Amino acid sequence: MKKSDVTFYFLTKLFVNLQEDLIQFLRACDQYSNTFTLPMLQVFDEFVRGQTLRDSRDWSIQCEARKQNEETTGGVKLRHEPNAQTEISYLTYLYNLARDAIFKGVGSHKEQLLHAFDEAKGSKRSRCGVLGLVRLYENFASATSILYTKPRQTGDMTDLLDLESIHKELIHSLIVSVERLSDQCTKTSKQMVQMENYHLLSDIISRLRIPILSEVKTTTKQYLNNALEEYTAISLGQPLSELQSFLEAVQRSGISVDRIKYQQEFSKQKLIKVVKLYPLREVQKGLEQVKKKIDKQLNPEESLATIVWRSVQSEFLKQIREYNDLIQRCYQDPKIQLEFTTKEVEEFFVHLAAQ
């Protein structure tokens, strides 16, 4: 048996109580908080690596001194040679003990979270905002983020890879639960529940900056965009309903664009009459009502207002451009235009957003 192995063996026997006490201490911390031990893993890891670098430098210095001694003594070796690797390997042994104990606790906490996600129920009596299960995951993500504060070498990523897999599993389960609970919250629209929770979840994932979560991050953003699109359509409604109905009938008629204006039911006179129903002031009133409704529904604690209002603006301006384009293609008369300009609408959106 090598001398270093013998020394390591006696160190483990000599400090057996230290090993047992370390495990008991970590278990006690885990009972206090499931994620309380994660910062300890970071500190212990940094200590072991710092000790390794320091002893490696000392070892190099001592090897150089030994070489010089051999040169001055005619090749006679020192009787006692230092062995820094024994202390390093023992510290690594302790680190691995701690790591296994900590990740056993993290694994147990993961199962508790998955169970909580599956058992969560939506409120039918009060407004559903950010769901409690998303807050639970946010706390877990915040506690684990300390392990990502400093870069590591490729060979030292085992604990991070294990943790990343846990994150991925939790997020997938969380998405399933949000979809289920959004149907149960009767006091809040399904799209609002989805938006608020996916908005926060996307923010959490972005803050973690974990490469393995890039796919689930894209999925979460897609769920957010789908909910935002649906909510925008519902909230905006049909602010130019008569004009929309008229132009949709034009499109459904199947009559060519160069002949549509000669049809009595789609004549220029009827179109002008419909267009005059929506002067700028009427459009502004309609948008003000939409803004009030959205402000009433949005949770003031979440930063969704700007995102939602920008989506409403984009959708309404898109409708206006489509109406203008269809009118010009079918009627080819510069005198037939909406009673307001795109620029006027954009300026009013800016005004409402500033309120």
Distance CA 31, CA 68 (A): 55
Q: Can you give the pLDDT at residue 173?
A: 96
SS3 203: helix
34: nearest Cα among 115, 96, 91, 90? 115
Q: What is the pLDDT of residue 8?
A: 63
Q: Is 36 helix (H, G, I), strand (E, B) or coil?
A: coil
Least confident stretch, 30-39, 162-171, 270-279: 30-39
Q: Where does the pLDDT of residue 301 fall: very low under 50, low under 70, confident under 90, or very high at 90 and above?
A: low
Determine the Cα angle at 281 with ends 279 and 286, to 5°: 100
**Under 8 Å between Cβ of 349 and 287:** yes
In the predicted model, is pLDDT for residue 211 greater than 90? Answer: no
Give CA–CA dist 23/67, Å, rounded: 42
Region 131-148: mean pLDDT is 86
**DSSP-derived 3-state class of residue 294:** helix
Confidence (pLDDT) at 23: 84
Neighbours of 260 (CB within 10 A): 20
Kind and range of the H or E element at 301? none
Band (100; pLDDT cuts 50, 70, 90) = confident
Q: What single letter denotes the amino acid at residue 139? A: N
- The whole-number pLDDT of residue 111 equals 93
- Taking the C-alpha atoms of residue 206 and residue 300, their distance in angstroms, rounded to an integer, is 22
205, 220 in Cβ contact below 8 A? yes
- Round the average pLDDT of the chain to a whole number and report it: 81
Please state, in angstroms and as integers, the Cα–Cα distance from residue 336 to each residue in 153, 328, 348, following that order. Answer: 68, 8, 23
